[in-house]
Structure 1
Amino acid sequence: MLGIAVLLGSGVTAGVLFAVALSVLPALFAMETGTYVYAHKLLGRNWDPTMPVVVLTSTLLAAWLALIADDGTAQLLFAAAAVLLLGVSAVSHLCNVPINRRVKAVDNPDELPADWQDPRPLWRRWHLLRTLLAVIALALNAAAVTVI
């Protein structure tokens, strides 16, 4: 049962991040800056606290499974997946969230400050990193579940 839960959580994590990378990011890059800021604010409304809970729960499940699995290979796979999911959380919290806060702090997207720097390229790099970590974590969890 825990194996199903870790697959569900890590699958949702990888799937959401992959969908954002595949569809949302290109759409945001196609927008004028003011429109992007407005859209970014709208898109970010429901991610918190949902995604942090999903990612951290999946991390804890993978770590727990690493501790209780009888098979050494499964233990290593679950442990590696837990570390990668923790990396997803760290990149999100330390890199993407500060950028999100900066965008959300803009009062009027039509009148950006003179020193405004478009955060999209940097946000995309961090997002692609956490997407890669999440997809690898999902693959490791799936491999571990097949071993136990």
Structure 2
Amino acid sequence: MTAVLVLVALSANGLAAGVLLWSAVCGVPLLRTLAPDRYIEVELLWGNRFEPFQPICVVLTALADVLLAVTGPGGPARPLFGVAAVAAALVVAVSATRNVPMKRWVMSLDPAHPPEDFADADPRPDWARWNLTRTVLAIVAFGANVVAVVTVLPT
């Protein structure tokens, strides 16, 4: 069972961290250059493709890491899996309380008729900051997972 949990934690966490890193390095800079109508169109396109993939990956990471922190191999691996579980849970928390509400608002807009006050309500700067926060947390989780696995490998 431990091997399956490690596989799930590493795979799901690697995919989640990779998608978030892509969004921080490429997606956010692109979105910030777009006019409001194009920005809304791209969010509609991306949002409908990354959901539910991204949340599932992060939740699987957190669950697998919690189980590994409780039942996994001893030594330094368990606390490292615990760090990964906390970091992944924080990704979920930031996503649910910060990024998702902003994204839902944008995805509720009609690209052909953006709000007149879009410049004042534009969520891109705040979304980018919170996205960077959850990207760093996902990378911390992945690093902790990798180091935890390395500590239990035979030498």
CA distance in 1, matches of 2:39, 2:72: 46
Indicate conservation of the 8 Å contact 1:62/1:78, yes or no.
Answer: yes
For structure 1, list consecutive stretches of 5 or more residues without a partner in the other structure. none
Residue 135 of structure 2 corresponds to residue 131 of structure 1:
yes
**Percent of residue pairs bearing the same amino acid type:** 37
Moved segments of 4+, more than 6 Å: none
Matched residue SS, 2:73: coil
Q: 1:112: how far off? A: 2.2
CA deviation after TM superposition for structure 1 residue 139, in Å = 0.2
TM-score, length-scaled by structure 2: 0.90
How far the C-alpha of 1:37 sits from its partner, in A, is: 1.1
What runs of 5+ residues in structure 2 fail to find an aligned partner?
Answer: none
Question: Which residue of 41, 46, 49 maps to 1:46?
Answer: 49
Would you say 1:8 and 2:8 are equivalent positions?
A: no
1:79 aligned partner: 82
User: Match of 2:146?
Assistant: 142
Q: Deviations over 1:79-119 (max 9, x none)?
A: 01000000011111111110011101112x24322333111
Equivalent residue number for residue 39 of structure 2: 36
Partner of 1:89: 92
C-alpha contact (below 8 Å) 2:8/2:60 kept by paired residues: no
Structure 1 counterpart of 2:116, from 114, 117, 127 = 114
Kindly provide the amino acid, as one letter, of the partner of residue 113 in structure 1: P
Query: Structure 1 residue 49: deviation in Å?
Result: 1.4
Amino acid at match of 2:18: G
Cα deviations by residue, 1:14-70 (Å, 9 ceiling, x for unpaired)? 101001111111111111121111111111102111111111111110111111123
Secondary structure of residue in 1 paired with 2:76: helix
CA RMSD of aligned residues (A): 1.2
The answer as to whether partners of 1:52 and 1:89 remain within 8 angstroms in 2 is yes
